[in-house]
Chain A
């Protein structure tokens, strides 16, 4: 093969080939292009249109103008509380998960025995964490006679009869814990990032007499900051999309304390068949996610690549 490669190099290095093959190009990308138009562009236009109507799927949509949007922002208190809950969920669970992932990545970025096995094992919760199996288990784990209360009773003599799932103050935290539990993916990404940091930086710091914490905050964190930024954006977005866990574990309750945005949207659309109203909610969600992404990007120059200024 290598001689063939050489031959090819000789042949083509002299005359530069700049062939356009429009037909082949579009044939190869056609699956995406068709799917993009059929499953993204058209639905988005349709959704925007529907958001200005009252529509229950069965009877024809009725044009209501901006009414859905006005109602959402002026009279819908459930909208406001679901926004608050979703922000809390995303902005608490994602930083905690990333911090935990970074902590373990630093632990596993050492040349020691068993580290490879640990890395693999600690990734497992990420693999199964999104499943219904784990969700139904989580529901029992934190239930009134679940393993947590039983553990607290056995080891600390605490006799707790309450269900963590059904208590307004702890319900959302059980979901946050489940999110933190799935720290495996960012951990692996951080590990890959840590390996990219040149060892010479740490050697130089050692000569200057830097201690472990100084090295961590002045070298590791700044060098890793682009990776942290990327993960922050991706996971905050997916935090906003959380649905299955809230649907199965807490069912949005108690008293709507875990009614996250997408679950609220789902109820409006598929329990009450208010497709117009729910479409307006979906568009607001898109705008919120876009604004958050822009804000994170805009603030990035203050902390990505440079010394942290207190954000971390």
Chain B
């Protein structure tokens, strides 16, 4: 009895120590965002501000040369929500096509989907850039949004796995009721794969919200920047350094991500565990 109690205490102590080390950087960012500019790097390790201030949030929000963070956030939401909506709908449709409909060449095409799961996007980045610049898409959201309307293999695979788990009898019952392949998709499949749709929403939201590479390549004017590029401006040599503002806006930029994580974490955990794919 004594021994098992000691074990329990040691267990939680060990996890506590690892946890503190792990969360220290995040807490440091949070506390720095409330420190008075000029005291941030004095005894930098302190997690409790000498004096508590919200002025970093005000000065950070003001942004650069008239482009404030409201604009960056609006841009991020526009890009992220459209791209995510496109991904959810198209990957569900493609997943359904592969999981439920028999057609010629299906096996080969599905093998292609699986093999391109591992294909690094960086390999096609230059030709894509050349193509998009030829059709005049540079400095627009099209290169960031439109490709997301063409179902990514990762999400096709996720949807496919999920649809496989739905009893085929449901489709067949609907068929008797006069449903065709299209209404089965809308009336039977879509309502039954909610967890997969939510998982897709979470991942695509994260990836687009945090994407830095895409916007860096394709966006040129600051008033089109998403938050990720906006944050980078804080450390550009041309701007006056405002570390407090940088920390404050960093914290704000993580809020949507954390809110989604808290609300949907159950789906996220299931999504990762069932597909075995990384997020």
A residues contacting B by CB (< 8 A) are 1, 4-5, 7-9, 11-12, 18-22, 24-29, 31-36, 38-40, 42-44, 46-47, 50, 57, 104, 107, 110, 112, 114, 118-128, 130-134, 136-141, 143, 145-151, 154, 181, 185-186, 188-189, 191-192, 227, 230-231, 233-235, 237-238, 240-241, 243-244, 247-248, 262, 265, 269-270, 275, 278-279, 282-283, 285-286, 289, 293
In the complex, are the beta carbons of B96 and A28 less than 8 A apart? Answer: yes
Question: Is there an interface contact between B122 and A191, defined as CB atoms closer than 8 Å?
Answer: no
> Does B278 touch A at the CB level, under 8 Å?
yes
Task: Give every chain A residue within 8 A of B206 (Cβ-Cβ).
Answer: 127, 130
Whether the Cβ atoms of B273 and A127 lie closer than 8 Å is no
Count B interface residues, CB 8 Å: 102
Nearest A residue to B147, CB-CB: A39
> Which A residues touch B124, using CB under 8 A?
39-40, 43-44, 47, 282
Complexed CA–CA distance, A151 and B273 (Å):
37
* Contact assessment for A28 and B126 in the assembled complex, using a CB-CB cutoff below 8 Å: no
Q: For A233, list chain B residues within 8 Å (CB).
A: 118
- Give the shortest distance, in Å, between B150 (CB) and chain A (any CB): 2
Considering the chains assembled together, what is the distance between the CA atoms of A243 and B228 in angstroms? 14
Shortest Cβ-Cβ A-B pairs, 6 listed: A35-B150, A25-B103, A28-B97, A192-B273, A133-B250, A43-B127
User: Which residue among A34, A140, A238, A289 has the maximum number of chain B CB atoms within 10 Å of its CB?
Assistant: A140
CB pair B273–A191 under 8 Å, yes or no, is: yes
Asked if B8 is an interface residue, CB under 8 A from chain A, the answer is yes
Query: Would A8 and B173 be within 8 Å (CB), given that A35-B150, A121-B19, A154-B45 are in contact?
Result: yes
- Contact A104 to B18, CB < 8 A, known contacts A114-B12, A140-B243, A145-B44: yes
Contact with A along B1-19 (1 / 0, CB 8 A): 0000000100110110011
Give CA–CA (A191, B276) in the complex, Å: 11
Complex interface bits, B179-193 against A, C-beta within 8 A gives 1, otherwise 0: 001100100000000
Q: CA separation between A133 and B248, bound complex, in Å? A: 10
B151 x A32 contact (CB < 8 A): yes
Minimum distance in angstroms from A261 CB to a CB of chain B: 9
* Min CB gap A46→B, angstroms: 4
Instruction: Verify if B101 is at the interface (C-beta below 8 Å from A).
Output: yes
Contacts of B24 in A (CB 8 A): 147
Q: Would you call A38 and B150 a contact (CB within 8 A)?
A: yes
Q: Are B150 and A5 in contact (CB under 8 A)?
A: no
Interface of B toward A, CB cutoff 8 Å:
8, 11-12, 14-15, 18-19, 22-26, 28-29, 32, 41, 43-46, 90-91, 93-94, 96-98, 101-104, 106, 109, 112-113, 116, 118-131, 133, 147, 149-151, 153, 156, 167, 169-170, 172-173, 175-176, 181-182, 185, 206, 209-210, 212-213, 216-217, 227-229, 231-232, 234-235, 243, 246-247, 249-251, 253-254, 257-258, 261, 265, 268-269, 272-274, 276-279
Cα–Cα distance between A84 and B94 once the two chains are bound (Å): 40
Q: Cβ of A133: which chain B residues have Cβ within 8 Å of it?
A: 29, 231, 249-251, 253-254
